[in-house]
Structure 1
Amino acid sequence: MPYFVEMIVSSSQGPELWEGKLEAKPDLQDLDDEFRENNIEILTRFYLAFQSVHKYIVDLNRYLDDLNEGIYIQQTIETVLLNEDGKQLLCEALYLYGVMLLVIDQKIEGEVRERMLVSYYRYSAARSADSNMDDICKLLRSTGYSSQPGAKRPANYPESYFSRVPINETFISMVIGRLRSDDIYNQVSAYPLPEHRSVALAPQAAMLYVALYFDASILHTQQAKMREIVDKYFPDNWVISIYMGMCVNLAEAWEPYKAAKMALNYTLDLSNVKEQAGRCAAVRERVHTQVQQFLKEGCLREEMVLDNIPKLLNCLRDCNVAIRWMMLHTADSAYDPSNKRLRQIKDQVQTDSKYNPKILFQLLLDIAQFEFILKEMFKQMLSEKQTKWESYKTEGSERMTELADVFSGVKPLTRVEKNENLQAWFREIAKQIMSLNYDDSTAAGRKTVQLIQALEEVQEFHQLESNLQICQFLADTRKFLHQMIRTINIKEEVLITMQIVGDLSYAWQLIDSFTSIMQESIRANPSMVTKLRATFLKLASALDMPLLRINQANSPDLLSVSQYYSGELVSYVRKVLQIIPESMFTSLLKIIKLQTHDIIEVPTRLDKDKLRDYAQLVPRYEVAKLTHAISIFTEGILMMKTTLVGIIKVDPKQLLEDGIRKELVKRVALALHRGLIFNPRAKPSELMPKLKDMAATMDGFHRSFEYIQDYVNIYGLKIWQEEVSRIINYNVEQECNNFLRTKIQDWQSMYQSTHIPIPTFAPVDESATFIGRLCREILRITDPKSACYIDPLNTWYDLRTHQEVSNSRLFSEIQDTLGTFGLNGLDRLLCFMIVKELQNFLSMFQKTVLRDKGVHDALKSLTNAVNPLKGIVANCVKVYSTAVTKTQRIWPAYLDAIMKVGQMQILRRQIANELNYSCRFDSKHLAAALENLNEAILADIEAHYQDPSLPYPKEDNTLLYEITAYLEAAGIHTPLNKIYITTKRLPYFPIVNFLFLISQLPKLQYSKSLGMVCRKPADPIDWPPLVLGLLTLLKQFHSRYTEQFLALIGQFVRSMMEQCTRYSCCLARAKQCGSLPAFGLQLPSSLTLSQAW
């Protein structure tokens, strides 16, 4: 493989030379073809991604050229940059191109990119001939950059990388100028305080950081501009997030640039670092206390919120700014541990800011909860705003009308005299209130304030305080008017400000450093999940950044991009909450141990005297306590309501079930991997003891999982069967990949899952998985070279010691351990092994039999001697022994192949017997239905061949394929009748097999009780595998080969009988004559008559 990789890498330097080397070696050519078949799809996907980046910058350059050439009437770069949206889009266009290049270089090493491009070019020559492959290679060739820790930064990086495709210099200069001078996103209004200015401009600062690499002369020499940039954007921060949590430390990034480094010196001065860290710590402590006060039960009422909007928003700003500064400037990924100055700055920050990740995380939890409550309240108030405003207006107007009626004398009220002036005045006030217009909120607000003042004045001037009922009417009306003012001030701008201030996109990657803290909190208090829900929703706000422009453009990619980011976030949610299933399984393991080893199973009938012995109160109490702990964890995750994360709905019940499945898969897969590792030198074999131990382990998992299903409200047995079958089928699939030219990759596998992944483990021997190790261990102990199979007993015995090696109980034990899925998978793997052996056999037959002149001549001579097959071979002993002698060098390899195939066929027969037995026992109705359906289909097919007008399953009908899978799983099939490979006509094939058979007969002897057995243990051979191997081999060819083979055996028997008869007659005559004449019949020592017989 390394040689092959070397050729792939170097093929661009001398393609003809390397292609010639490939074609000269068939093995390398096969490897090349296999590599292409397995990887062309993923190579194409990567190439299309690279091509898209190149197309992006080509299209941008074309657009800029069109602008300069006047294609767009009355539009130039200058006019576009004057437009509010235009300047944003042009700045983003340059910025996103730089980000794409940086992300590609960070995520895909340069050498890997080059190999992928060369491979794609070689394998897709037809498609790449018309493409701009050279330009793409020029843009994305290796930069020398490595993301590995401690790797040195290449010289002139990344400016030389960014300059590979030239971009209009005027455009770059104008974009940088606009970013330096303007607030292009108008975010300063959301951060009115001057100390928050750098946070308000943070998105713009990230864009400017990337754009400066397109004109590195500013970084190198233009000190005034760099001083201006640092003073505006980086006076109090030096770690920035450039895109979705990609953090950059300016102290390290601008180290090679003289002007940038000098401008940043003040920011990085330790006194300034200390000041900023101390200020951040003070703000954090102050706002944390405020947030905790706000979160107290009953504090955030509607009236309180409406009266204190500025105060609440200021608290949100201060808190989010403090969290942002702290998370960015204490992030491990932002500091190179080998850089002494950076280490010193980091230590200073952590000391002066009193950094404690748990306290910071608690603040993040609280502010997320605070934001969530406020947003939900404002959304509800906005939706009810007009309804409530109209309701308050009506209530206020009705109060004034009622009060007017009081002074009219129509509705007598205690001690209230008739007053026509007040009556008219209150009626006018009622009309004024009703005339307030919701749509003109400014005028309505002003008028409402005047009405409130008028009501206060009328109460004072007309001495109405003495009448409590009138005072109450006036107070109620003023209250309704105040509510109208509050309600009219509920504006969407508040929600927008909260969205801007609460942005957490900078922590898209940094949040992972808090995962362990989150999980510890959940383990200690499962109800913590409710607060985490708000944090996850806050993190989901980061999705707005990459989706905004895609949505505005009505791009069809909106769904796929949303799906990707939402999926990433949901995966993180799953990762955090996986601690709940992990904790549950920790308790479950203890339950398994107690149920397997400590608690004795209570029999169906029990003497009352023994009741105390079976009670076992202490272990049963422990099981109950552990079960209660499991139910508490379940209750914790179910407290998180169904939540929409991005565009994916997260159902806590489904999340819990997936988490349980994931943990079950992880633990069962690990148990199978560790439990089924065998020592090939062990005497006796470890197979049966390890299978018994594994069966006990699996039974413990099964019983305990079934036990807790009611406490966590899941279908335990269903989940168990689905996941165990998936584990086994996946491992069988991966093991079978070794025998396939086109491999099934993980992302193509129907058994592998993103959310519930089946873990893979490093191979411990030639097998890729535990199922391969199990299969190879069975093949090792039943190897015909060391063991003899006795068919009537279904048992293998050691050739030397005659001790039993294995029997049919082996597969019952596998059934107990791995279930039907395991046996079926083992059977499938044996099928692949048989196919591989048969393919190797045919390859060997072509090389050693048909291409060997000596062997070819011997076969031709024998063919002439035995024709016609119905006749008798003259001087047969000499003819046969001569042919055997001339071909004897090919028989060892021939024997190995035949015996291996026969051995595996015996194993397949035994597996089929076990599967069929268990199916009849456990699912007798299924077994009967399958047998009847199978017989009916075979009868219909047979009828079709007798009368073609009768129906037959069409090619697109999957009935035969599907029923075959069921039949094999139920053991209703005959392995010896299976066609494993497609074959072509082979000359001399029947006679070669005949010669092989008679060449092996001298190694065997007949035992009346055991049948044919090996004559000498030193020269091992086993008759049942030999016969079944030959039968399987012949079954792969046309039936006439089998007929010819049987005819040759019949001729051999007749010829030997004839010669034996003649020899006996000659001996009898010689005795009568008293002498023994020479008849010219000599038997070679290698083939006596008795042996041949």
Structure 2
Amino acid sequence: MEEPGLSRSAASTTVGGDFPELLGFCARVEALIAELLLLSDRAPLQFADRRFDSILFDFRYLDSPGDFESRVEGNIELEALEDQLRESCGSYMQRFFSLLDGAVTYHEELCNYLNDLQEGLYVHCTLDHVLENNCACQLLVESMALFGCMILLMEHKTSGLLRERLLVAHLRYERCFSYPNLERMCELCRRHVPSLATSASSGSSVFSPDIISIQKPEDLLRRFPFPEPVVDAVITCLRNGDVYNNIRFYPDPQHRTTALSLQGGHLYVLLFYSDDILHRGLAMREIVDRFFKDNWMVPIFLHFSVDLLVSWDAYKEAKLSLVSCLSPTSIRDISLQHYTKVTHFLADLDIHIHATNKDYVLDNSLSLLSVIRECNFTLRWLFLHRMTSDKKARDLVISVGSSQQVDEGTLLQLLLKTAKLEFEVKKLHVELLKTRESMWYEKRRDALECIKDLSQNYLGTWAASCKFKNKTLKDWLEHLSSELISLNYTSIGSCGRTIHRVLSTLKDIEMLHQIKESVQVKQGFSKIHKNLHDMIKTLNLNHEAINILSVITDAKYAWVYLTLFETLLKKNISQDPSETKFLHTVFLKFQSWLSAPLQRIKQCESPDLHCISTYYSSKFAAKIFAVLDVIPEILLKTSTAVDYVNIEQPTHLVNRINQEALQELMQMDQQLCQARHATKLCIISEGIGNMSSNFDDLVNLNLGGWLKKAIKKELAIQLERKLKCLSSYGDMESNLNSLSNFMVSQMQRMEFLEDVLHIDGSSIWQETFTTVLEQCAKKEFLELMACTQKSANAVKQLNNVYSPSTFFGGHELLGMRFFNLLELCVGQAGLACLDSLVHILIKHNMENTVKSLHSLVDPKRYEDLTKMDDTLGPPMSIPLMGWSSYKQMVKMLHSAWGQLVEKLATIGQLQLVRTLISFKLRSSCKIKANTITSAVEVLVSSLYMHKGVFEIGDEDETVRFFLHIIKEQQNFCGLFSPLQVIYISEDPPMFLTRLLSLFSISQLPRYVLDVHLGNLTSPLKGSTADFSAVIIGLGTILRQFDSFFMTQYIQFMVQYIRTAEAAFNATTDTPKGATPEAPKAVFWLMSLCKYMDISRDIVESCFPASALAILQS
């Protein structure tokens, strides 16, 4: 998805808060970073393709542009590459250019603002005022530090060569060499060339793309410096203060570096803008002691981190300060401290998770927050430092984990359980805050009832003889009751003091000797105590706990681990589908990855909010879908184990069941297994529902649409695998039976999933099945068009069946039974796809046949055929030379008839198959969709009635599209006759009708007219020659051209019939048993007219009465 570009000026002028200028700067720099990340993820492949190296230039082009342009000018190949690059990458280069312009403009305006600020040009604020104001100080720090982050990310994500090439290419194509900010933009894009010395201890890892490792970053950042007094003042503020007020969320001193981690990331960047702090040992020792004494992996923006052991390697004082705190022994001890807590945390989390409810959260709020804080502290340290770039440190940290049997799987379990507890505690806190007033009054009512019960039943006049009566205590309790009644929830301060006074009074009462000896009275007092304490806890409920949770549960630093844990999560889900029920809690833990880079943009109400949030949301959703990708496969695999309908044992038809067979008939084990599989499906459905409901306000996942697409994709893979498996072995009928059972089970499975997942399973099945069939048909079509080598799929098997040598072998190969079975497997859509493929085969064979007829008429045969036409005379006459002229010409072309028979027979067989398919389509549609079929018939009839009108409007695209759709529907419903279809549009061969008439005459001796069968049959035993296929193929050839050719062919054949009859009657020495040719020729011609649906008028005009009499005799 292509997001729109940034609107810098609008963001910069938006006013919000007490410091609108600083807020605008922060919003702009967050937008610039988002645009940089987006563009770096979508860098054009052309700039890495060596084919384009000849037209991609770096900054050397700016020194002598003429020399470089001369290489391209006049070179047709390079100019074509330039056009291709401009067309494909023009919009990307424009966005990159806008990013550069926005960055340099931002720096210029921010520097002007800072200079004005320190010079006191703003009446309402000065630099000291900004630094003293907590909110303003945060904005000032972010406006400077995030710009430095952007420069570091640009160097990290896009190489200097790529930046130079992008900028030069844009300048060349847009001819904007005089752009105002061009020099500063070139400075931003220029390659950073540090010294060749590198740290010997650094090594690459799988986390390298997310760890910024740039040598001499100060040289890169000082290309765009900030005023030194401002930098020094900001660094001093960061070194000594708590800019983000996070220390209050981490009361344990051991967590101090985590509390200041955000501040420490900004300080890391700003130190490179200072001239000497990195080289001052005392200052760096103070900084390390406060921010980095127990950690060296520092996130500076989202999940992008720096490794201080590598980054500070070139700064002696900084490295010494760091190493003094983080020696190998210290690293080992810190690692061991965190790893040993993991097992304890896992057990502790299980206890809290199983006990968590509203009362538990109300009673143990502080302890739950403490557990969550400790777990997150350990997770943060282990996640960050297991991905360090320093090889020795990384190996040391991982080796300690291995010794404690803590690996990625264990850390994932800790992450999952921590996220689950966080989610439950936060959700219950929110519910408690919503209902705290009603809960408070409920607790007060329970306390008053307990006091009343004690006063009346144990201490008052109603007290039984076994109880004691004490008028003073009764009055005292009634006084306490009146005090509780007077309490009002809105007066929180006075309520708290009153409740504490009541509790103190109750403790004094409990000290009485009589109270201590009465178990019932003591129990009553304990209930009152419990309700009063709950009232105090309810009064103390506020949003502070939610704020604490939002800070201590932040996990955006571990975003990269979602990719690392993807395989483990998929494996866990496959083994235990119940993992999906709480999978949403893991991703909710990373929601700060979405909110953090949008915080200032939202506050500023920038118009860039939509496009930037869309970018981050798409990245977030991609991570979720990458993990959920395994669910469709699990769904289909699990649903396969459910036996939907047992066709072989129709127990619903049994009228009587014997007692001995009842146990076997109940199939308890099988039903238990199916119930377990159905439970798994329901659990997965619940997990998907949780994921969808909890992300509604965060990311537009559209899990319903995604699940449909994913199931379609997985279902298509299984269908293709099944079709491929069936087409590779076995005979066609057994394969079709197997495929039919498979299709029925698939359809039932999708119907079952429809009820469980609340999706339209039947629609998904139909759409997927139709798509797979269309893709198979398209693949087959491409193979046919490319004339590829023979494959073993079903259509090619049908093509083998069409072979004239096997088509008429005494048993049915393709008939209605076969197509009934085929329809059960592939349905209407499959039959329609098969029909389209047979259409292609017919067209291909037609083209080859017409081509061979063209080549048959060479110059010599052209002369012979011309002479023969002259000899035979007009069709209505009898040749002077009689029958001998036909024999001579048939003999001359004898060598060509064999190939022509095969080709015409193939065409005829394909036409017969297509006729069967058309009949099956039409009959099925009449039964299953009679209304649609009738509507299509009416439309087609209407089109034929208005044929002339539509022919005039053929140039209209809408009309053409409408006609195309109607044609598709007509074919789908089988409302066409294949024998009337025009397959090719070519010029007819010369002497077409004469050649085909001679061919027909040459084939007549091969057949005998069987009066019992009413057909032409071959007298040779075992012959495979099929008369019907040949005559249909011949008629199809004639149908492709003007109707004149069909009429002329009939006339030529009638001329032959009259000539043959005359010759037969004139011969007196006819051998005994000889069959005259005239009746066979008449039957041949009448069969052609019947198959090709030739009108009766044409038949009567061409057939003389004598020819019909011959047939009748």
Query: Above 0.5 in TM-score?
Result: yes
In structure 2, the CA distance between the partners of 1:826 and 1:45, relative to structure 1 (3 Å rule), is farther
Q: 1:967 aligned to 2:1018?
A: no
Mapping 1:147-546, distance limit 5 Å: 156=215, 162=221, 172-212=231-271, 215=273, 221-297=279-355, 302=359, 304-330=360-386, 334-335=387-388, 340-342=391-393, 344-351=395-402, 354-393=405-444, 429=480, 432-434=483-485, 436=487, 438-457=489-508, 478-546=529-597
Give the match for residue 684 of structure 2.
637
Query: How far off is 1:995 after superposition?
Result: 9.2
In structure 2, the CA distance between the partners of 1:821 and 1:384, relative to structure 1 (3 Å rule), is same
Give the match for residue 10 of structure 1.
54
* Counterpart code for 2:294: D
Query: How far off is 1:234 after superposition?
Result: 1.8
| Aligned partners of 1:569 and 1:645 also within 8 Å | no
Give the match for residue 893 of structure 2.
none
In structure 2, the CA distance between the partners of 1:972 and 1:205, relative to structure 1 (3 Å rule), is farther
| Aligned partners of 2:97 and 2:167 also within 8 Å | no
Q: Deviations over 1:441-467 (max 9, x none)?
A: 344323432332234446668988799
| Aligned partners of 2:362 and 2:537 also within 8 Å | yes
In structure 2, the CA distance between the partners of 1:68 and 1:159, relative to structure 1 (3 Å rule), is closer
Query: How far off is 1:702 after superposition?
Result: 2.4
In structure 2, the CA distance between the partners of 1:265 and 1:973, relative to structure 1 (3 Å rule), is farther
| Aligned partners of 1:940 and 1:952 also within 8 Å | no
In structure 2, the CA distance between the partners of 1:321 and 1:706, relative to structure 1 (3 Å rule), is same
Q: Deviations over 1:18-41 (max 9, x none)?
A: 35323799xx58x956x776x46x
Give 3-state SS (helix, strand or coil) of 2:273's partner: helix
Give the match for residue 851 of structure 1.
none
Q: Deviations over 1:73-114 (max 9, x none)?
A: 434555434432222233333444454555566566666667
| Aligned partners of 2:349 and 2:421 also within 8 Å | yes
- Structure with bigger RCO (C-alpha 8 Å, 6+ apart): 2
Give the match for residue 85 of structure 1.
135
Query: How far off is 1:50 after superposition?
Result: 6.1
Give 3-state SS (helix, strand or coil) of 1:355's partner: coil
Query: How far off is 1:604 after superposition?
Result: 13
| Aligned partners of 2:831 and 2:921 also within 8 Å | no
* Counterpart code for 1:276: I
| Aligned partners of 1:44 and 1:120 also within 8 Å | no
Q: 1:44 aligned to 2:91?
A: yes
Q: Deviations over 1:654-711 (max 9, x none)?
A: 88766544432343355667888xxxxxxxxx8x979889867755642432354465
Give the match for residue 920 of structure 1.
922
User: 2-side partners of 1:1024 and 1:402: how far apart?
Assistant: 104
Q: Which moved more, 1:190-199 or 1:474-483?
A: 474-483
Query: How far off is 1:722 after superposition?
Result: 1.8
In structure 2, the CA distance between the partners of 1:935 and 1:606, relative to structure 1 (3 Å rule), is closer
Q: Deviations over 1:918-974 (max 9, x none)?
A: 4214322678666655565466567768789x9999976875454344335446579
Query: How far off is 1:511 after superposition?
Result: 3.0
Query: How far off is 1:184 after superposition?
Result: 1.9
In structure 2, the CA distance between the partners of 1:941 and 1:95, relative to structure 1 (3 Å rule), is farther
In structure 2, the CA distance between the partners of 1:1006 and 1:79, relative to structure 1 (3 Å rule), is farther
Give the match for residue 873 of structure 1.
none
| Aligned partners of 1:581 and 1:663 also within 8 Å | yes
* Cα RMSD after superposing both structures: 6.9
Q: Percent identity?
A: 25
| Number of residue pairs the alignment of both structures matches | 901
Give 3-state SS (helix, strand or coil) of 2:245's partner: coil
User: 2-side partners of 1:831 and 1:218: how far apart?
Assistant: 82
Query: How far off is 1:204 after superposition?
Result: 2.6
Q: Deviations over 1:27-74 (max 9, x none)?
A: x58x956x776x46xx62574366346425523532442453477543
User: 2-side partners of 1:86 and 1:36: how far apart?
Assistant: 45
Segments of structure 1 that go 5 or more residues without pairing to the other structure are 609-614, 677-685, 736-768, 800-805, 837-901, 984-988, 1012-1021, 1035-1041, 1054-1093
Query: How far off is 1:438 after superposition?
Result: 3.6
Q: 1:702 aligned to 2:743?
A: yes
In structure 2, the CA distance between the partners of 1:253 and 1:199, relative to structure 1 (3 Å rule), is same
Query: How far off is 1:160 after superposition?
Result: 5.3
Segments of structure 2 that go 5 or more residues without pairing to the other structure are 1-44, 58-67, 195-203, 656-661, 807-812, 845-903, 1008-1029, 1053-1113
Q: Which moved more, 1:397-406 or 1:230-239?
A: 397-406
* Counterpart code for 1:706: M
User: 2-side partners of 1:224 and 1:583: how far apart?
Assistant: 60
In structure 2, the CA distance between the partners of 1:4 and 1:709, relative to structure 1 (3 Å rule), is closer
Give the match for residue 681 of structure 1.
none
Q: 1:721 aligned to 2:766?
A: yes
Mapping 1:637-1036, distance limit 5 Å: 637-640=684-687, 642=690, 643-645=693-695, 647=697, 648=699, 660-669=711-720, 699=740, 701-709=742-750, 712=753, 713=755, 717-727=762-772, 772-773=782-783, 776=786, 795=802, 821=829, 916-924=918-926, 933=935, 936-937=938-939, 959-960=962-963, 962-970=965-973, 1008=1003
In structure 2, the CA distance between the partners of 1:229 and 1:913, relative to structure 1 (3 Å rule), is farther
In structure 2, the CA distance between the partners of 1:935 and 1:537, relative to structure 1 (3 Å rule), is same
Give 3-state SS (helix, strand or coil) of 2:694's partner: strand
User: 2-side partners of 1:476 and 1:3: how far apart?
Assistant: 76
In structure 2, the CA distance between the partners of 1:354 and 1:659, relative to structure 1 (3 Å rule), is same
Q: Deviations over 1:253-272 (max 9, x none)?
A: 44444444333323442100
In structure 2, the CA distance between the partners of 1:472 and 1:591, relative to structure 1 (3 Å rule), is closer
Query: How far off is 1:634 after superposition?
Result: 0.9
Query: How far off is 1:502 after superposition?
Result: 1.6
| Aligned partners of 2:350 and 2:417 also within 8 Å | yes
TM-score normalised according to structure 1 size:
0.64
User: 2-side partners of 1:824 and 1:36: how far apart?
Assistant: 44
Give 3-state SS (helix, strand or coil) of 2:74's partner: helix
Give 3-state SS (helix, strand or coil) of 1:215's partner: coil
* Counterpart code for 2:925: S
User: 2-side partners of 1:1030 and 1:128: how far apart?
Assistant: 70
TM-score normalised according to structure 2 size:
0.63
In structure 2, the CA distance between the partners of 1:46 and 1:127, relative to structure 1 (3 Å rule), is same
* Counterpart code for 1:236: D
Mapping 1:578-657, distance limit 5 Å: 578-583=629-634, 585-586=636-637, 627=674, 630-640=677-687, 642=690, 643-645=693-695, 647=697, 648=699
Q: Deviations over 1:277-297 (max 9, x none)?
A: 121123334433333333344
Query: How far off is 1:335 after superposition?
Result: 4.8
Query: How far off is 1:319 after superposition?
Result: 1.5
| Aligned partners of 1:823 and 1:911 also within 8 Å | no
In structure 2, the CA distance between the partners of 1:386 and 1:907, relative to structure 1 (3 Å rule), is farther
User: 2-side partners of 1:980 and 1:135: how far apart?
Assistant: 67
Q: Deviations over 1:957-994 (max 9, x none)?
A: 8754543443354465799999999x9xxxxx98xx98
Q: Which moved more, 1:182-191 or 1:156-165?
A: 156-165
